[in-house]
Amino acid sequence: MSTTADYVGRNCPHCGAVDSLATDDAFGEVACTECALVVAMGLEENAFNRYNENATYDDVDRHREHGDAKLAANISGVGTSSVTAPQSTTVAAKVVLHPVMMNCMRGLQKKSGLPEAVLDRAVAIARLFVGGRRARGQRVERQQDVSAACLMIAAEEANQPIPVAEVRFLDAAVGAVELRRVEIVQELKMTESERRLRSVFAENLLTKYILKLGLQVSIYQPHCMRLLSVISGVEELAGLTVVDRIVVALLLARTENTLSWEAASSGTVSRAASYSGMSTETVYASFCAKAHLDCAKVVKVMQKATGALSRIKKAFMELSATAIKKCRDEGSAIDDVESERKRLKV
């Protein structure tokens, strides 16, 4: 028999209003808030809020823990399966996502150039989240934000992160994605997975940007990671986000020849930091077009970074000197070991 949870998130069959059905678990009725017509009557009570006069607080907590454990098992089954073919769970198989959610995820996936497997994984996450909410009779608010958050999680799991700035640039209707992502992580018990994704976010995003620019990863990634560590310690740039710092590190490596690892050690200008004679504005615009970022915001961030360029150069030279000294010490230690080995052989 149907329950009120089966009607949560659906459109009105009479007037066609989107997600306008209000449920009454006590009377077992569903009505439209737009046309005020009753859609269903005599529905069975939801198992999660069914009245039981003999229930205690322990019973309610035990029931909630059982539901959370079942949902966690479902998401772990999807997470451990292959990204190219997500495992269909009992909860996700019965959930039909709203067209708004599907269109949002599909549009972001195509505009950002993510593979189809990422979209499949995002749909699986969205079905588990929506299914858990509907099972408790809760409405899914801000469906576009939820869709974008699911796609962001799926993209990071595939080591192809898509930052919030890129999501909002591709879809202006997206709002508080971070809040919806927190809800998804809590709902699906993905705290450990979220912590792991956050730890590798900066490196994966930097690699993605380097590849988009057609640069050599082996040269630019270690150089930009050193710049990133320096930028994180500059007080004037403390208000920048992680994505902003990555952008600053990459663009400084492209436009500032003095901020090169080889130049710090030998006094020469490295080809890795050259930008083929292009103007700074051209480099910024080219990067924003390929990374799907707002050029005006990137220019503003770079102006702030340029104002602190002297501090960045000073910190970078200190880091260079420390690293060079460490490399020389390690090299001398290796030479000592080799000479001792040769002496023992003789």
Q: What is the pLDDT of residues 236-282, one digit of tens each?
A: 888 889 999 999 999 988 887 766 554 444 443 344 444 456 788 88
Domain assignment present for residue 268? The answer is yes
Task: Work out the burial of residue 96: count CB atoms within 10 Å of its CB; fewer than 13 is exposed, 13-18 middle, 19 or more buried.
Answer: exposed
Residue 83 sits in the same domain as residue 175: yes
Range of the domain at 117: 57-199
CA distance 61 to 13: 36
Q: State whether 195 and 77 are in the same domain.
A: yes
How many domains, the chain? 3
49, 84 Cβ separation under 8 angstroms: no
Contacts of residue 83, Cβ cutoff 8 Å, sequence gap at least 6: 117, 118, 120, 121, 157, 158
Residue 51 forms part of a structural domain? no
Of the candidates 199, 218, 234, which is a domain's last residue? Answer: 199
Nearest residue to 288 (alpha-carbon basis) of 133, 156, 203, 166: 166
Least confident span in 6-10, 262-266, 328-332:
262-266
Does residue 179 have a pLDDT over 70?
yes
**275: in domain:** yes
Mean pLDDT for the chain? 77
One domain, residues 243 and 125: no
In this structure, the dihedral spanned by the alpha carbons of residues 334, 337, 339 and 345, taken in order and rounded to 10 degrees, is -140
On whether both 191 and 309 belong to a single domain, the answer is: no
pLDDT at 343 over 80: no
163 within domain boundaries: yes
Mean pLDDT of 59-63: 52
DSSP assignment, residue 273?
Answer: G
Residue 72 pLDDT: 46
Q: Is residue 52 part of a domain?
A: no
* Structural domain includes residue 323: yes
Q: Are residues 184 and 241 in the same domain?
A: no
> How far separated are the first and last CA of the chain, in Å rounded?
89
* Mean pLDDT (whole number) for 84-104: 66
Extended strands (E) in the chain: 21-24, 29-32, 38-40
Domain's final residue, options 141, 166, 199: 199
- Please state whether 248 falls in left (phi above 0), alpha (psi between -120 and 50) or beta: alpha
Do 213 and 323 fall within a single domain?
yes
Beta bridge partners, 44, equal 3
Q: Which residue has the tokens 């912590």?
A: 195
On whether residue 46 sits in a domain, the answer given is no
What is the predicted pLDDT for the residue at 18? 75
**Is residue 155 in a domain?**
yes
Q: Read off the pLDDT band of 162 (50, 70, 90).
A: very high
Helix, strand, coil percentages (3-state) for the chain, rounded to 5, are 65, 5, 30
Give the list of residues 6+ apart from residue 140 with CB closer than 8 angstroms, or none. Answer: 8, 9, 129, 130, 133, 134, 146
Q: At what angle do helices 280-291 and 201-212 cross, to 10 degrees?
A: 110
- 3-state class (DSSP) for residue 39: strand
Q: Does 109 lie in the same domain as 124? A: yes
Q: Please tell me whether residues 150 and 163 are part of one structural domain.
A: yes
Bridge partners (DSSP) listed for residue 29: 24
> For 92, phi and psi rounded to 5 degrees?
-70, -30
**Residue 152 pLDDT:** 94
CATH code, domain carrying 211 = 1.10.472.110
The angle formed by the CA atoms of residues 242, 180 and 99, to the nearest 5 degrees, is: 120
**Which among 173, 199, 225 is the end of a domain?**
199
The answer to which of 56-65, 155-164, 188-197 has the lowest mean pLDDT is: 56-65
Q: φ and ψ at 24, to 5 degrees?
A: -125, 100
**Token pair in block for residue 95:** 């959930």
The predicted pLDDT at position 121 comes to 92
- The CATH number assigned to the domain holding 139 equals 1.10.472.10
182 and 227 both lie in a single domain: no
187 and 292 both lie in a single domain: no
Tell whether 213 and 191 lie within a shared domain: no
Collapsing DSSP states into helix, strand and coil, what is residue 31?
A: strand
* DSSP, residue by residue, 187-212: HTT-HHHHHHHHHTHHHHHHHHHHHH
Say yes or no: 81 and 193 in one domain.
yes
